[in-house]
Structure 1
């Protein structure tokens, strides 16, 4: 592995700084969530305390006494100890078999006779019938002081009224649906729904004239639609809450042929069409009361003890006021910081008790989006990660540049060391000897070594001349001595050696 790659890997080790920043951001998020949860709990408890004992605000119907015969002669607030008390609250919060409990709708359904824009909540349906052939289901909901009714009637032979006839002529009657209700004064009223075909349906009330004659004028405040289904027919209605008091019920008149006696069943008495059940719904003022506590990114919901929503105020979709949508870089950082499965919402329930703090009369559920503190976290996270990533990038770039610079200098030293000795044995100069770092020390050491090698090489070059001079002198002496011996008389046996010496 090259030095350049090693230093690059060492520079990449600085990426531990952004990783540490992500861990710090997670810890900061947990601390912010815990603090926000505590704050939300305090808010929910405060609002629940303001609703304590406010049954008149929670429920549209005043709490009745346990027994009408035991009702006090002088009107007393229903929550006053010693009157209706906890028994009345218990009786009201445990509905009877004919009572209807409308949903708190988030939008008004379109009156077309189809259930597409109704909540899909099977538990919210109520079913009534006489036998398996005569049975209907009813779903009710409230939105902006309007009661919406969705009626599913099972009928093997749906029958409409005869067209163009008197609505009070029994010979023309088809299937009819009666609505019975009490007004705010406790007086019973009835209207009937009759249609000559699928589509819009009108409600009519029966009035008796001065001379005993009856007529059926249209009730213009009630609107609806009647549609056939594969197993019967469906009716969708809208009734103003201002028309209704405590009691409300439905009666179905099923006929197999026009003019015959009907099979009647439902939640109205068949003899006088008086209501058997109540309409358990929140007071209209409850939603307005919750609205005063609203803030962007907050949702308040008041439910019955069993969990059915009475009223809600929802501002979860509103902007939190801390800026627009997070930038792309922040969304990218979230992928590394957000924990899988983390809840984007904070929830804080709180119980609502009566004035004696003994009986549970409702529950408050406060939900808040995490947008506020997540944006605070994102702001800090972006600054920290931008700084750490920039630092890491600078460090990696600087280390890579330094590694390249070192590699160039080492390559120069390598090439100099390879070409230090020429073919003739001459020593060239060595680079980097002027540097003041460790590579300069190495270069100077090599230069000193080469200098000594150069001196030794020079010595070897002059050694032959010196040796020749030293050898030439004794040879001259020997040669002159031999010349002198030739001039002398030497024995023949010694002359052979003299010749060999020459």
Structure 2
């Protein structure tokens, strides 16, 4: 495993710190929710005790009891017959949608202080207005009915033309009731009424019906109905004031009738948790983002909340949980409920965002900062590991490029700067390479000096043997002299091979490359070899010309000399030696084939190494330098030397790059 990966794994282990912090936050969140739920339940019990006396003034509405709900307005609407200042007018009426073409009537009820407001929108393409001259003629009008102290009160709204209207008592001699006033406004599909009435007392009933007689004079009515008057349900200001006094920041409370009507509603907004963006520093912005991410993780691991329409005017009270997590549209929250008098219920909700803000922001900030610190530390470690790995890789490449595949030092290491361990290692490598270069130079010069120094003793030995041969030695002495003469000749050939290999490596630096025809060189060399070795059949197979190559023809002739010389040693008398030249894709294949014994498989890949030879040790002295010289000349021309068995002989091939792909040496 590379050093970079090891440091990466070590850096990833630091993520355990924020992970353990997250586990702690999750456990703390569960404990805080349980504690907050208990505190909410106690708070709901106290609020229930405070609100129960106030509920006696607000009669309860039970299941099955018809009721109409009136919204609470923040300000009185302008009585102009238009509903643009009514909440939700552009969307729909609570009891009857106005955008349904099959519904002839839509309405909305609202209260503001001591007044009840009614907005009625009727679809009537051709309304029939009231004719004061013929009061009994059927006409469109609105009937209002409510109760006061148990007594039924009824008023009529009629008009001879669109405009301001007042209420009329339904008697033979009607009288106006100016406590009821409003505006009758005509529009393209009918008309719209906007009325202001005295607000009924809590628990009283209220209803209305709009009469729209048809052409036959039959007066059909539309609306909630006048037979069974519905209970008028509104939010009680006194109850809402009592709820507001008992709320903490981020809490909401509601009181529900047994039928699910929301008769009281209050909330206390939490303190704003979002500071001015322009006032934050970049570090604080990143910290806020991290804290929001932490809150998102906490929400992800929380139990799934139940959907509950806390802001709806009527809620399914039979499905109301006693306590638990809910989603009221503003995010997850804690809910507890407490029974009240007459089957009512108090619902208290605490926002979990506020809970986390109040109890976990400090810890969340610490964890967020530690996470940012760990991520920054990881980036620093990864950058440092990359830089360290790059330095080691550069040192490795420098060492690799300084030594060739034969172990010879071809370049010096560049100087290494710095005072750390890697720099010291590079410095020691440089010293080592310098020492190895000196030792290699000594070994290379040693062969030359040894050759030079041994030539004189060998010459003396050879002359002494010649002199002894003229003294008339005995048969036994002659045998010893012949053995010494053979050893001397072998030693002379060894010294000649060592000297030739040393001179060849030195000649590479002075060899001149030129373009020439490889086929002509091979053809001429083949004719010369045949003349020098008439005991073998030496032939050339390939094109006579057109094989352009850029290199040293003298070195390539020397390469062929060594290959043919090697082939003659292993080819029987009258055997075939063939010089071949072929054009392969991307290179020229120059090969020498000879009949004879096959190469051992174990030496096929090592035959071009120094001191490797297949000749009999009893024969002439040979150091195995010939094929080494072949490989050196091939590599000098950016080529490759190969040896393989072929049919009934051996083939040595030299792959030389063709001019289109060969670099200029």
TM-score normalised over the length of structure 1: 0.63
Q: Deviations over 1:51-86 (max 9, x none)?
A: 346542443xxxxxxxxxxxxxxxxxxxxxxxxxxx
1:366-385 equivalences in 2 (<5 Å): 366-375=348-357, 377=360, 380-385=363-368
Deviations along 1:215-257, one digit per CA (max 9) or x if unpaired, are: 6345145435455685x75544332326788343436555558
Q: Which position in structure 2 is the counterpart of 1:219?
A: 178
Aligned partner of 1:287 among 221, 224, 240: 240
Match 2:271 to one of 307, 320, 341: 320
Which residue does the alignment assign to 1:80?
Answer: none
Q: Name the count of aligned residue pairs.
A: 429
Q: Which residue of 2 aligns with 1:395?
A: 378
Tell me which residue corresponds to 2:314.
none
Secondary structure, aligned partner of 1:371: helix
Larger radius of gyration: 2
Deviates more, 1:322-331 or 1:304-313: 322-331
Residue 254 of structure 1 contacts residue 263 of structure 1 at CA under 8 Å; is this kept in 2? Answer: yes
1:197 aligns with 161
2:87 is aligned to 117
1:101 paired to 2:68: yes
CA shift for structure 1 position 362: 0.7
**SS of 1:238 mapped into structure 2:** strand
Where 1:147 maps in the other structure, the secondary structure is strand
Greater RCO between the two (CA within 8 Å, min separation 6)? 1
Indicate yes or no: 2:250 matched with 1:250: no
Once the two structures are TM-superposed, the CA of residue 203 in structure 1 deviates from its matched residue by 2.1
Does residue 1:37 correspond to 2:37, yes or no? yes
Quote how far apart the aligned CAs of 1:371 are: 3.2
Alignment of 1:148-227 (within 5 A): 148-151=117-120, 158-162=127-131, 165=132, 170=135, 174-183=139-148, 189-205=153-169, 216-220=175-179, 222-225=181-184
Shift of 1:36: 3.0
- With 233-242 and 287-296 compared, the bigger mean Cα shift is at 233-242
Change (3 A) 1:480 1:176: closer
Cα shift at 1:472: 4.3
Structure 1 position 155, deviation (Å): 7.0
Where do 5+ consecutive residues of structure 1 fail to align? 60-88, 127-134, 209-213, 270-274, 355-359
Asked if 2 retains the 8 angstrom alpha-carbon contact of 1:195 and 1:226, the reply is no
- Give the CA RMSD over aligned residues: 5.4
2:335 is the counterpart of 1:364: no
Change (3 A) 1:432 1:285: closer
Residue in 1 aligned with 2:116?
147
> Does the aligned pair in 1 maintain the 2:179–2:197 contact within 8 Å?
no
Q: More displaced, 39-48 or 444-453?
A: 444-453
Structure 2, unpaired ranges of 5+: 98-103, 278-283, 306-326, 486-665
Q: CA deviation at 1:368?
A: 3.1
In structure 2, what is the Cα distance between the partners aligned to 1:108 and 1:240?
16
TM-score normalised to the size of structure 2? Answer: 0.50
Q: Secondary structure of 2:246's match?
A: coil
Q: CA deviation at 1:93?
A: 3.2
Alpha-carbon distance, 1:365 to partner: 1.7
Q: Distance in 2 between matches of 1:314 and 1:390?
A: 39
* Equivalent of residue 461 in structure 1, options 445, 456, 469: 445
Structure 1 stretch displaced more, 342-351 or 3-12? 3-12
Find the aligned partners of 1:481 and 1:253 in 2 and give their Cα distance: 154
Distance in 2 between the 1:263 and 1:448 partners? 114
Stretch deviating more after TM superposition (419-428 or 400-409)? 419-428
Match of 2:369 in 1: 386
CA gap of 1:325–1:379, structure 2 versus 1, over 3 A, is: farther
Q: Give the Cα separation in 2 of the matches to 1:244 and 1:195.
A: 31
In structure 2, distance between residues paired with 1:478 and 1:276: 147
**The one of 288, 293, 300 aligned to 1:339:** 300
C-alpha distance 109-23 of structure 1, shift in aligned 2 (>3 A): farther
Q: Give the Å deviation of 1:191.
A: 2.9
CA distance in structure 2 between the aligned counterparts of 1:276 and 1:479, rounded to whole angstroms? 151
Deviations 1:297-351 (A, max 9, x none): 3222111112111121234xx3425554788643566356242976414242424
Structure 1 contact 182–245 (Cα < 8 Å) conserved: no
